[in-house]
Structure 1
C-alpha cells in the first residue's frame, strides 16, 4: 500500500527511524510503499498520522497535466 504523512507531520519508518515518511511523495511514486500487514503502519493510519494514497490517481493527474501543457503550447 502507498501512504503519505499528514501535512506538518514526519512519521519515522518502521525499521529505519532516522528516515521519515513525509507529506511529499518520492519522485515518480504515488506515495511511500509500506507493507499491508504491518501493525506499525496500520496503527499510524488509525491514529491519523498517515493517509492511504490511491496508487492509480497520480498517474492520471500526470497525464492530464501533460495534455494541458501540450494544448497550451500548440
Structure 2
C-alpha cells in the first residue's frame, strides 16, 4: 500500500489552489432575467429563507443566507 500525499490525483486536496471558481454574484433582478418568457410564481425571486416559510415563522432574516430562488412556469 502506498502513501497518497496531496500530489496524488485521488487525494482530497489534489489540485487545491488551481481550481477556478465558477460562482457569479447576481442581483435578484438579474436572476429574474433567467425567467424570461415564464410566469414567476409568488413570492417571486426572493432570498431562499423567504420562499414559502413555515407558518408563524415571522419575517425572514434578511442577513441569513445569500442565495435567492424562484419558480417559474410556462403561461
Could you say whether these structures have the same fold, taking a TM-score greater than 0.5 normalized by the shorter chain as the test?
no
Counting helix residues as a fraction of each chain, which structure ranks higher? 1
TM-score class, shorter: under 0.3
Counting strand residues as a fraction of each chain, which structure ranks higher? 1
TM-score (norm 2): 0.21
Q: Which has the higher contact order (CA 8 A, sep 6+)?
A: 1
TM-score (norm 1): 0.22
